[in-house]
Amino acid sequence: MNVQTLLYWVGIAAVAVNALAGVLDSRHKRMDLIGALMVGTATALGGGTVRDLLLDRPVFWVQDQTYLLAASLTGLVSFFIVRAFALQARLLLIPDAIGLALFSILGTQVALQSHAPWLVASLMGVTTGVVGGILRDILCNDVPSILLKGELYATAAWLGAISLIAMQAAGASSVLASSLAMALVLVVRLMAVRYHITLPAFGKDGCA
Amino acid sequence: MNVQTLLYWVGIAAVAVNALAGVLDSRHKRMDLIGALMVGTATALGGGTVRDLLLDRPVFWVQDQTYLLAASLTGLVSFFIVRAFALQARLLLIPDAIGLALFSILGTQVALQSHAPWLVASLMGVTTGVVGGILRDILCNDVPSILLKGELYATAAWLGAISLIAMQAAGASSVLASSLAMALVLVVRLMAVRYHITLPAFGKDGCA
Amino acid sequence: MNVQTLLYWVGIAAVAVNALAGVLDSRHKRMDLIGALMVGTATALGGGTVRDLLLDRPVFWVQDQTYLLAASLTGLVSFFIVRAFALQARLLLIPDAIGLALFSILGTQVALQSHAPWLVASLMGVTTGVVGGILRDILCNDVPSILLKGELYATAAWLGAISLIAMQAAGASSVLASSLAMALVLVVRLMAVRYHITLPAFGKDGCA
């Protein structure tokens, strides 16, 4: 199995993890099976979809429906598992961080291949990594959690994306730079959770 | 009048019904005339718009502004009717079910013509049928009602879409398959309302 | 400096004002630095993005990242200013009205150049002017303020857009028509604020 094939199947797995995360969130809102499926699918595919629309590329899951199959089958199974067991979102911490690393770095690569300028490419990486979760929270009528004060998430994605771009500009090979950048996203995210590292935020007194 | 022309005008009528439904919903939020118009228009045109963007086709109402005219004129008239009379959403049950049948089957046909794979095509049918209502609820800051436990709605659209695809794969003509599939959506939706048929859902105790 | 160059930099300035407005709004929700940045950027670039997607044009800030730089740097600076000082949204009234005038008239021009029909072109003007603010309110989990009863905002944008189209159809030069239409948007908006001019709206008793 070569690197391309490996990345493809890791990508499918990351889509599945995100679908599970979406279904998990929708349990707070009395959603039914198809509602939970739609939230799970939007969570799993939303980031890459928005990236592809902005870059004027064919939407990845419209071309290859394996992604949609993975998202909907995982969503289906997740619904019944989540209904039967009291799963905690915390369980998903590490799979979710791996998904974030993969999505954000692959998203940045896709944007660079589409000749997006560097700052745009780094934003496309963040978009691929976090917009699915934003869509999930909008569909559940919550303020998107990744916009609120919390352990570095979009920040980890952006640091990875920007360091990928810097390494490739400095002449590093695509495989090396991608691997290091994914590791960086993963380490920053997990360290931030472990040591409660947060960015400056608006204070509680500013609450509506 | 041939079938094509008939479908066109039924489509325009379905857009108008959806615009009325959007305005009806916006009355709960103190929206003004232009706010209600925008919610009505987004409800009426949102599903087909998202489908066209995902399939990388020209957006249907940008090409032919009859749809936009129908949505905004209906929205305008609806605003004053809704303000004067205490209309109940229940009145729209049958027109709305007809619109759902039409939108979801036409949306699936459009996706098949764009050579979308079968699962993607069925999702494009559901998208065309339900995304307008999801946008309406997001603009009104509600959890999208079609995601919550309720009488089969997105499910009816999906059953119609998937049976259309199966019938056409089995060699049925496009006109026959579309007619039967629309009838299926309509029957499933109305039976579900009549007999309170629902999907399994997350229970009340899971509420946030 | 010619007119084209002047408009370009006024456009960049309008993007910056919108980014500040987005950050200002996000302070009510305990967002952190990157959350506020993302809300500010979505507010600043959202309207033109949706317009470009609907018209099937390349997204303006993906082509030229000066817009994204302006939005994110302003967002960054705004975050610390907003955190330190109790800025009032009212301070932004006049810059915001100038931005609305500019965005809506430029958006209409872009749509006309893409050969959109007149009603669609006027809606694209309104979209460019107001969708950023709608996205901001959705991300902050509020009902979009411009849809609610208030001093003419989307209405001012639409009146400007439609009068631009009428003037150009009557043979006025693009520069003259655009200047008059921008002035109209500005005057209608500021007069509406000064004299509390509002559209008919759904009453308080209809509230959810």
Under an 8 Å CB criterion, which residues of B touch A?
Answer: 53-56, 116-120, 123, 134, 138, 141-144, 146-150, 154-155, 158, 198-204, 206-208
For residue B204, being part of any structural domain is answered with: no
CA nearest neighbour of B70 among B94, B97, B101, B48: B48
Tokens of C74: 């302003």
Q: Which of C142, C199, C206 sits opposite B27 (nearest CB)?
A: C206
The pLDDT of residue A4 is 78
Confidence of residue B207 (pLDDT cuts 50, 70, 90): very low
The percent of residues above 70 in pLDDT, for chain B, comes to: 97
For residue B129, give every residue at least 6 positions away whose Cβ sits within 8 Å of its Cβ, in sequence order, or none.
B47, B100, B103, B104, B107, B154, B157, B185
The pLDDT of residue B75 is 93
The pLDDT of residue A9 is 87
The pLDDT of residue C35 is 93
Q: What is the model's pTM? A: 0.94
- pLDDT tens digit string along B92-109? 888 889 989 999 999 999
The percent of residues above 90 in pLDDT, for chain B, comes to: 71
Weakest-pLDDT range from B1-15, C54-68, C75-89: B1-15
Is the pLDDT confidence value at B189 over 60? Answer: yes
Asked if B29 and C202 come within 8 Å (Cβ–Cβ), the reply is yes
Other C-beta atoms closer than 10 Å to the C-beta of C1 total 7
The pLDDT of residue B1 is 61
- pLDDT tens digit string along A51-102? 999 999 999 999 999 999 999 999 999 999 988 887 777 778 888 899 899 9
Identify whether the C-beta of residue B124 lies closer than 8 Å to the C-beta of residue B10. Answer: no
At A208 the three-state DSSP class reads coil
The pLDDT of residue A1 is 62
For residue A78, being part of any structural domain is answered with: yes
Whole-angstrom distance, CA of residue C70 vs CA of residue B68? 34
CA nearest neighbour of A133 among A204, A10, A69, A50: A50
The residue with tokens 């817009």 is C67
Q: What is the mean pLDDT of residues C27-54?
A: 93
Confidence of residue B204 (pLDDT cuts 50, 70, 90): low
The pLDDT of residue C203 is 72
- pLDDT tens digit string along A9-38? 888 988 998 999 889 888 888 899 999 999
The residue with tokens 């439904």 is B21
Q: Which chains touch A (3 or more CB pairs under 8 A)?
A: B, C
- pLDDT tens digit string along B147-164? 998 899 999 999 999 999
| Chain C positions in Cβ-Cβ contact with residue B138 (cut-off 8 Å) | 138
Domain span at residue C60 reads: 3-198
- pLDDT tens digit string along C189-198? 999 999 999 9
The total of structural domains in chain A comes to: 1
Q: What is the mean pLDDT of residues C109-118?
A: 94
Side chain identity at residue C17, one-letter code: V
Whole-angstrom distance, CA of residue A38 vs CA of residue A48? 16
The pLDDT of residue B26 is 84
- pLDDT tens digit string along A107-132? 999 999 999 999 999 999 999 999 99
Residue ranges of alpha helices (H) inside C27-153 are 33-54, 60-63, 66-84, 93-113, 118-139
Convert B18-45 to b/e letters by CB count within 10 Å (16 or more is b): bbbbbbbbbbebbbbbbbbbbbbbbbbb
Whole-angstrom distance, CA of residue C208 vs CA of residue B89? 14
For residue C146, being part of any structural domain is answered with: yes
Q: Which of B147, B203, B208 sits opposite A39 (nearest CB)?
A: B147
Side chain identity at residue C149, one-letter code: K
Tell me which of B24, B25, B34, B136 to substitute to probe the interface with C (most C C-beta atoms closer than 10 Å). B34
The pLDDT of residue A204 is 56
Identify whether the C-beta of residue C12 lies closer than 8 Å to the C-beta of residue C67. Answer: yes
Helix (H) or strand (E) holding C162: helix C154-169
Taking one residue from B and the other from C, the number of pairs with CB-CB distance under 8 angstroms is 95
Q: Which of A116, A144, A206 sits opposite C30 (nearest CB)?
A: A206
Taking one residue from A and the other from B, the number of pairs with CB-CB distance under 8 angstroms is 95
What is the ipTM for the molecules in this complex? Answer: 0.91
For residue A206, being part of any structural domain is answered with: no
- Chain B residue with CA closest to C157: the answer is B34
Q: Which of B28, B34, B83 sits opposite C208 (nearest CB)?
A: B28
Whole-angstrom distance, CA of residue B9 vs CA of residue C171? 35
Is the pLDDT confidence value at A205 over 50? Answer: no
**Residues β-bridged to residue B31:** C148
Whole-angstrom distance, CA of residue C13 vs CA of residue A182? 36
**Residues β-bridged to residue A198:** A151
For residue A128, being part of any structural domain is answered with: yes
Asked if B34 and C134 come within 8 Å (Cβ–Cβ), the reply is no
For residue C105, give every residue at least 6 positions away whose Cβ sits within 8 Å of its Cβ, in sequence order, or none.
C125, C160, C161, C164, C178, C181, C182, C185
Is the pLDDT confidence value at B130 over 60? Answer: yes
The residue with tokens 């690393």 is A101
- pLDDT tens digit string along B35-91? 999 999 999 999 999 999 999 999 999 999 999 999 999 999 999 998 888 777 777
Tokens of A96: 């979710």
For residue B206, being part of any structural domain is answered with: no
Please give the biggest Cα pair distance in chain B.
55
Whole-angstrom distance, CA of residue B174 vs CA of residue B169? 10
Whole-angstrom distance, CA of residue A143 vs CA of residue A128? 19
- Chain A residue with CA closest to C59: the answer is A54
Side chain identity at residue A116, one-letter code: A
